[in-house]
Chain A
Amino acid sequence: MRSPKPLPVPAVWGAVACLVAVSTVHYALVTGPEVQARLERLADERHEQVRQEHRLFWRTIAITAFVAIVVTARLLAG
């Protein structure tokens, strides 16, 4: 029985190199920017939520101060 002819080593390495090159180019041009854009969008969203919670905090301080002023004024008025 004849043994199968081994693949020429340069061809295997060439195929692997092509695969790696295509994957790298695809990641650099498509997947990478997509992932990056998604991460940026999530970071923006997160930043916006943190900002809104920050605003809520300061609005609560302002409302507390306003109510305290109204109550004090009323008490002073007798």
Chain B
Amino acid sequence: MRALEWILVVFVLAATLPPIAGVYQFLLAGLHRFHRDPLQLTGRPPRVAVVVPAWNEAAVILRTIEYLLALDYPGEALRVYVVDDASTDATPEIVGNLVRTHPGIVHHLRRARGGEGKAHTINYGLREISADGWYEAIMVIDADVIFTSSSLRLMTRHLAHPDVGAVTAYIKEGSAPKNYLNRFIAFEYATAQAGARRAQNMLGAQACLAGGAQLIRRESLEAIGGQIDTSTLAEDTVTTFRIQLAGQRVVFEPYAIVWAEEPREVVALWKQRLRWGRGNVQVTLRFRSVWFHRASAKRLGGISFALIWFSVTLMPVFMVTASASLIGLFLLNATFSVHVFRALWFVNQVSYLFVTLSSFSVDPAMARVCWREGIAFPGLISVAIIVWAAVPGVRLAASTPELLFVYAWMSCSMVAAYLAKQLSEWSPARRLIAPLIYVVGYGPLLCAMTAVAYKKELQGAEMRWEKTEKIGAVGEIA
């Protein structure tokens, strides 16, 4: 019996890894000023071919390209290739007009037959433009993103270092006005990009070039075959891994800001994140020889990078096993279970406080708009448990229904988030969704999406590129 108790304790304490990884990342992010300074003030900017895959993007494409043409970057060193995936809306006419008004700069490449997905569209564009020896780097972007004036210049200066193979930017949620979901996403991006990617710069291993802003040196692209992966749903992550495994560095530039329109409804977010989640599972399996193999995979094979990667991809497993183990411990030895819970929750409390404040710190402009969502990120019930367990004088009594609820909530919050998503598809309940997400938590919603992504992968569900609909909601950019 004693052995079983200790096994359960190990399962519970394994759930401290994600919060520890969160604190570790923000400590590293705080040290980013000591990262090797790649800034160069002079030197010729490289010739960049911007590849814009577009499938029925009439609502957004004009503005995206207008902002690209207005970049603070030498005109003679910039070309824009819109790769039209056989759009059936007004995209071809809009791009055609741009080609006429900006001859030699904007190019329209049209596929005769489309619908195969973003990676295939990008590859069509790469094949068309690679015959021309003009470009020195390509920038793969989404059709709806808005590049701020200095962003490309800030990114390309890293290429002055020959060991840098690719650079990514800080994608920010730019919808105006923002609804509750946009604000949650804005906070998430500050944590997962401005914070985590700074930390990954420090570690020398990046997990992912953001799909909306991937600057890749020509030689690096050619070193991985000159094409983007089409066998997974995470082609940007595969590119990132392959470039690093080929011996080049991938860098995050936190001051290159790119605004993107993100989902406003839970259903659209679910579709997008299911794709990302399945892509992450595919990448984890495809690069299984990388994990914990520092000798062959360099920084990607380090323990730190694995801690960061698996704390995200295995989060639902950690939550469910911790919850089930605590309930098991409660049944075996209720008093002992309280002590184990206290240890786990102590780490959660410290991590919540540190990560939330640090996320506000890496992007104060975001914090001014999204601080409520930052506080409510794990869900108001979880926040209440954090506060309740932290208040001096509160004694966690064993064998109470409250205690069982607290133990179960770690995994039940994911189920509740899943139910909120199901409810959001039923129009009479739409008004309830926002308060439900605040109560249940955006974090558990992300975990539920990851759990469903596992299930889909295990079932071998069909891989379809389901596009996230964009309507041009990004607000005015200064």
Please list the residues of chain A having a beta carbon within 8 angstroms of any beta carbon in chain B: 39, 42-43, 45-46, 49-50, 52-54, 56-57, 59-61, 63-64, 66-67, 70-71, 74, 77-78
Q: Which residues of chain A are near B353, meaning CB under 8 Å?
A: 67, 70
Across the interface, A56 reaches (CB within 8 A) one of B150, B357, B362, namely B362
* Residues of B contacting A: mostly: helix
Complex CA–CA separation, A66 to B393 (angstroms)? 21
Q: Which residues of chain A are near B350, meaning CB under 8 Å?
A: 67, 71
Instruction: Verify A60–B358 contact, CB threshold 8 A.
Output: yes
* Residues of A contacting B: mostly: helix
Q: Which residues of chain B are near A61, meaning CB under 8 Å?
A: 30
Q: Which residues of chain B are near A60, meaning CB under 8 Å?
A: 26-27, 29-31, 358, 361
Complex CA–CA separation, A46 to B255 (angstroms)? 10
The size class of the interface chain B forms with chain A is 20 to 34
Q: A64-B354, A66-B357 are in contact. Are A56 and B29 (CB under 8 A)?
A: yes
Q: A59-B358, A64-B354 are in contact. List 11 more A-B contacts (CB 8 A).
A: A39-B41, A46-B41, A56-B33, A56-B362, A57-B33, A60-B358, A64-B30, A67-B354, A67-B357, A74-B390, A77-B393
Instruction: Verify A43–B41 contact, CB threshold 8 A.
Output: yes
B427 contacts chain A at the CB level, 8 A cutoff: no
B454 to chain A, nearest CB (A): 33
Complex CA–CA separation, A59 to B195 (angstroms)? 13
A66 to chain B, nearest CB (A): 7
Across the interface, A59 reaches (CB within 8 A) one of B30, B39, B41, B392, namely B30
Q: Which residues of chain A are near B357, meaning CB under 8 Å?
A: 63, 66-67
B400 contacts chain A at the CB level, 8 A cutoff: no
Please list the residues of chain B having a beta carbon within 8 angstroms of any beta carbon in chain A: 26-27, 29-33, 39, 41-42, 150, 255, 350, 353-354, 357-358, 361-362, 390, 392-393
Q: Which residues of chain A are near B33, meaning CB under 8 Å?
A: 50, 53-54, 56-57
Q: Which residues of chain A are near B41, meaning CB under 8 Å?
A: 39, 42-43, 46
Q: Which residues of chain B are near A46, meaning CB under 8 Å?
A: 39, 41
Q: List 11 A-B contacts (CB under 8 A).
A: A39-B42, A43-B41, A46-B41, A50-B33, A59-B358, A66-B357, A67-B353, A71-B350, A74-B392, A77-B393, A78-B392
Q: Which residues of chain B are near A64, meaning CB under 8 Å?
A: 27, 30, 354
Of all chain A residues, which has the CB nearest B150?
A45
Complex CA–CA separation, A11 to B169 (angstroms)? 56
Q: Which residues of chain A are near B26, meaning CB under 8 Å?
A: 60
B298 to chain A, nearest CB (A): 25
Of all chain B residues, which has the CB nearest A76?
B392
B77 to chain A, nearest CB (A): 15
Instruction: Verify B32–A53 contact, CB threshold 8 A.
Output: yes
Complex CA–CA separation, A66 to B353 (angstroms)? 9
Q: A43-B41, A70-B353 are in contact. Are A57 and B30 (CB under 8 A)?
A: yes
Q: Which residues of chain B are near A56, meaning CB under 8 Å?
A: 29-30, 32-33, 361-362
Of all chain B residues, which has the CB nearest A68?
B350
Across the interface, B392 reaches (CB within 8 A) one of A43, A53, A57, A77, namely A77
Of all chain A residues, which has the CB nearest B346?
A71
